[in-house]
Amino acid sequence: LRSSSLEKKLVELKVEKERIIAEALAQVDTNDTRATLLAIKDKLATIEKSQLLWSDIIEKIEKTIPVSAVTQSPLINLRSYNGTADGDISLSATTRGDSLDGFNDIAYLIRAFVAEPSFNEVFIPSITKNITPEVQAVLSFTMHLAFQKQTF
């Protein structure tokens, strides 16, 4: 799975963390060391909370995807995640080649995300049908949604 936007955000947060530590260490005054260390600790806690938030969101996404009653495998294959600081998420996905009804699988996916209070504004603007070399129909699509920050 590629999660380029989320990985980029994680790298940005790590860089920000290092910058904050460097700035704080540059300002250390022996008389004010305790206050500086407390300020660093508070800033690091804020950064780490942001990092955990995205991992929690991805975990929630993966847990929300319906599974086949027969195989217990997810009905769709996620190809990539993209997210913004505002909470908008795009998921690029395909149905499984062994699916009997890919359109029905996508309908179940939409219902699952609409029913999950952590997400809203669930929308799939288009679906593309592809035929594999094994003559299986695989549907490709992008699902847009937003997460509710207060639920995490």
The pLDDT tens digits of the residues spanning 28-67 come to: 655 567 777 777 788 777 776 665 477 888 899 999 999 9
Lowest mean pLDDT among 52-61, 69-78, 102-111: 52-61
pLDDT winner (highest mean) among 6-10, 41-45, 48-52, 86-90: 86-90
Q: DSSP secondary-structure letter at 74?
A: B
114, 122 contact by CB (below 8 A): yes
Six-digit token pair at 24?
């704080």
Compute the CA torsion angle 108, 111, 116, 122 (nearest 10 deg): 110
Go through 80-113 and write b for each residue having 16 or more CB atoms within 10 A of its CB, e for each that does not.
ebbbeeebebebbbbbbeebeebeebbebbbebb
Six-digit token pair at 88?
């908008």
As a whole-number percent, the residues of the chain with pLDDT over 70 amount to 84
Write down the pLDDT at residue 36. Answer: 72
Residue type, 2: R
Report the C-alpha gap between 36 and 117 in whole angstroms. Answer: 40
Residue 148 φ/ψ, nearest 5 degrees: -90, 110
> What element of type H or E holds 51?
helix 33-64
Q: Report the length, in residues, of the chain.
A: 152
Write down the pLDDT at residue 150. Answer: 63
| pLDDT one-digit tens code per residue, 109-121 | 999 999 999 999 9
Residue 98 φ/ψ, nearest 5 degrees: -90, 10
Write down the pLDDT at residue 30. Answer: 56
Write down the pLDDT at residue 1. Answer: 45
